[in-house]
Amino acid sequence: MKMEQEGDFRPVLRMIESDLGIQSSNYKEDYLKRRVQSRMRMTGMQTYHDYLLMLRSNPPEHDALKKGLTINVTKFWRDVPVFDAIRRDIIPELRRRKKTIRIWSAGCATGEEPYTLAIIAHEASVMNKDLKFTIFASDIDEEALMKAKEGIYHRKALENLSDAQVRRHFTERTDGKFEVRPHLRAYVRFSRHDLMSGDPVASHLDMVLCRNVTIYFTEHQKDELARMFAPALTPCGYYVIGKTEYLSRDFERLYEPVNQIQKIYRKKA
Ligand SMILES: C[S@@+](CC[C@H](N)C(=O)[O-])C[C@H]1O[C@@H](n2cnc3c(N)ncnc32)[C@H](O)[C@@H]1O
């Protein structure tokens, strides 16, 4: 799409702020444009003006645009009780039967989830010197992965971490942002990977987290994912999905719930 065809982007920015309640200054304008243009292509609109007119009379498109804009949204320790349960219940259980723990953060966006797991891993390793962790982290979005590898975050992304955790695992930069320290980076292996490819990034996994990824997936694609993870998991390995996601009843023969509220399942032995 050429610039002259699209027109003035500022009214769209105002609408994103006022109607969608998304603070546009938190995002690069290019990123917002790309996401809006993707919605324009999907709805057959040629100009920002036409798209805005259509948006005003079309509430479902509001939701679609909002989802499109927040597609990479994530933070450290997102959904505190889930990561507390992983730290408190799951890692100690794995530690009793494993010396090396392998975890996959599938759909890791900009890295906050795998680095959260790295914090949990590091804290567990400090108490058990012979315990090793490998965290595989993958996403389809190259740009998100680049940020993940950079490992530089605004203070806001770290708000669920304690001050001690921030001091221990990040270096504060002169621009006020926080950079992941090398000891955390060492746990995480990033790679580009499409979850729809049907192949896992690794095998013999003790835990797979695939959280808040499947908003756009059909029921069939969601089922295919749950099916693809099963052989990649070790017997009694854990499968963690998003708080608002669910596992269909067909999978009761493959996985059993361990913590139903936090959506933590275990592969049947
Ligand atoms: C909202 S983020 C979730 C990040 C993190 N898992 C969390 O819960 O905070 C969703 C991520 O899923 C990724 N994603 C969507 N479809 C994917 C696919 N087919 N393969 C791999 N990643 C995908 C997106 O690129 C995005 O970074």
Q: 155 and 89, same structural domain?
A: yes
Q: Where are the alpha helices (DSSP H) in the chain?
A: 3-6, 10-18, 29-43, 48-56, 59-69, 80-85, 91-97, 112-127, 142-150, 163-169, 182-185, 219-232
Q: How many domains does the chain have?
A: 2
Q: 211 and 120, same structural domain?
A: yes
Which CATH number does the domain housing residue 116 bear? 3.40.50.150
Q: 92 and 27, same structural domain?
A: no
At 215 the pLDDT is 66
Q: 109 and 32, same structural domain?
A: no
Residues 6 or more apart whose Cβ sits within 8 Å of residue 64: 39, 42
Mutate to test the pocket of ligand 1, among 108, 140, 214 (most ligand atoms within 8 A of CB): 140
Give the domain range for residue 148.
80-267
CA of 2 to the centre of ligand 1 (A): 29
75 belongs to a structural domain:
no
Atom of ligand 1 nearest to the CA of 195: 20
102 belongs to a structural domain:
yes
197 belongs to a structural domain:
yes
Q: 194 and 169, same structural domain?
A: yes
Q: 107 and 8, same structural domain?
A: no
Give the integer Cα–Cα distance in Å for 72 and 232: 25
* Nearest CA owner, ligand 1 atom 3: 212
Instruction: Kindly give the pairing relationship between strand 132-139 and strand 170-172.
Output: unpaired
More confident residue, 179 or 70: 179
Q: 92 and 37, same structural domain?
A: no
Mark which of 18, 47, 69 sits at the end of a domain.
Answer: 69
CA of 243 to the centre of ligand 1 (A): 15
**51 exposed, middle or buried (CB, 10 Å; 0-12, 13-18, 19+)?**
buried
Q: 211 and 128, same structural domain?
A: yes
74 belongs to a structural domain:
no
At 177 the pLDDT is 95
Mark which of 39, 69, 99 sits at the end of a domain.
Answer: 69
179 belongs to a structural domain:
yes
Give the integer Cα–Cα distance in Å for 183 and 171: 12
Mark which of 25, 48, 69 sits at the end of a domain.
Answer: 69
Q: Which of 72-76, 163-167, 227-231 has the lowest mean pLDDT?
A: 72-76
Please, what is the average pLDDT of the chain?
A: 91
Q: 107 and 12, same structural domain?
A: no
With a 6 Å cutoff on the Cβ, whether 72 touches ligand 1 is yes
With a 6 Å cutoff on the Cβ, whether 267 touches ligand 1 is no
pTM of the full structure? 0.82
Atom of ligand 1 nearest to the CA of 210: 6
Q: Which of 21-30, 92-101, 129-138, 246-255 has the lowest mean pLDDT?
A: 21-30
At 26 the pLDDT is 59
Q: 209 and 84, same structural domain?
A: yes
With a 6 Å cutoff on the Cβ, whether 245 touches ligand 1 is no
Give the integer Cα–Cα distance in Å for 84 and 19: 34
With a 6 Å cutoff on the Cβ, whether 214 touches ligand 1 is no
Q: 91 and 62, same structural domain?
A: no
Retrieve residue 180's tokens: 């992941």
In order of 7, 35, 62, 154, the CA distances from 13 in angstroms are 13, 12, 14, 22
Q: 99 and 24, same structural domain?
A: no
Q: Has residue 252 got a pLDDT over 80? A: yes
The 10s digit of each residue's pLDDT in 26-52 is 567 887 898 899 999 989 999 999 999
Atom of ligand 1 nearest to the CA of 110: 27
At 64 the pLDDT is 85
> Predicted confidence band at 25 (pLDDT cuts at 50, 70, 90)?
low
